[in-house]
């Protein structure tokens, strides 16, 4: 019951958070769709191509993603495996944590559970919120994560954004990327959708089982109700009182 109450509390909170730098940031709405296998497949590809170079996902395996998302393992092996990884391996990276700390200030976090830690809406908004900031080592900052310590690896797709307003109330695209705004939004949805799946892979199965469980309970209720009527019909008719 406690978990349910906590979940209800968070559901009632507005889509606004205190970002890492302390700024009050409005999060864009996001609703994952784990039934959309095509979206998840595109997100898997985007994750491997854009995130897996620096961030690991060591609690997930390539094979698990391929199986859950309905992907041909031969295609995954040919197009998505990196280095000497095998299809059954965990999604780890070759980067040494000490080197990463020297380059970025801190080792890039593992992303397997990122959406469970921060929420899918946070991740989705974060991916779209990089902007030019020449004061930062990588020349970029982020509205959701102030003074972020990573480069904007998505800039080639999104383009270049700058802050507008005294307190960076909004972002303006000043140089187009390889994708239109609509295409980039869709790509970030797919990426966040995959990361949401990756944070709890069993949810795909539990959601499916849950539907059958509800159907079973509905059928069971009918038989239980009929059985109850059979047991109590003598009481309602008064024959039970006559016998006793």
Note the pLDDT of residue 240.
Answer: 52
Note the pLDDT of residue 237.
Answer: 63
DSSP, collapsed to helix, strand or coil, labels residue 179 as coil
Note the pLDDT of residue 95.
Answer: 83
* Structural tokens at position 196: 């949401």
Residue recorded with tokens 């994952």 = 32
Q: What is the mean pLDDT of residues 153-167?
A: 93
Note the pLDDT of residue 200.
Answer: 93
Residue 199: which of 64, 22, 2 has the closest Cα? 64
Question: What is the C-alpha to C-alpha distance for residues 215 and 213, in angstroms, rounded to an integer?
Answer: 5
pLDDT at 231 over 60: yes
Question: For the ranges 9-13, 110-114, 156-160, which has the lowest average pLDDT?
Answer: 9-13
Note the pLDDT of residue 98.
Answer: 78
Q: What is the pTM of this model?
A: 0.78
Question: What is the C-alpha to C-alpha distance for residues 149 and 109, in angstroms, rounded to an integer?
Answer: 11
Task: Place 238 in a pLDDT band, splitting at 50, 70 and 90.
Answer: low
């Amino acid at each position: 019951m406690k978990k349910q109450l906590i979940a209800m509390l968070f559901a009632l909170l507005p889509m606004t958070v205190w970002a890492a730098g302390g700024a009050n940031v409005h999060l864009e709405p996001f609703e994952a769709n784990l039934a959309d296998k095509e979206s998840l497949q595109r997100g898997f590809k985007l994750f491997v191509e854009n995130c897996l170079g620096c961030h690991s996902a060591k609690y997930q395996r390539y094979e698990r993603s391929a199986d859950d998302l309905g992907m041909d393992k031969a295609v995954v092996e040919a197009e998505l495996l990196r280095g000497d990884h095998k299809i059954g391996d965990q999604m780890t990276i070759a980067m040494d944590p000490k080197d990463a700390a020297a380059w970025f200030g801190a080792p890039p976090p593992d992303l397997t559970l990122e959406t469970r830690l921060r929420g899918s809406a946070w991740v989705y908004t974060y991916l779209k919120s990089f902007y030019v900031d020449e004061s930062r080592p990588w020349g970029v900052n982020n509205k959701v994560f102030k003074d972020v310590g990573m480069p904007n690896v998505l800039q080639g797709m999104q383009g270049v954004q700058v802050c507008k307003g005294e307190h960076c109330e909004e972002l303006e695209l000043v140089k187009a990327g390889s994708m239109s705004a609509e295409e980039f939004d869709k790509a970030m949805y797919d990426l966040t959708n995959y990361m949401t799946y990756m944070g709890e892979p069993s949810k795909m199965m539990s959601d499916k089982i849950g539907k059958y469980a509800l159907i079973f309970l509905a059928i069971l209720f009918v038989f239980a109700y009929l059985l109850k009527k059979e047991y109590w019909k003598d009481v309602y008719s008064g024959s039970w009182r006559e016998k006793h």
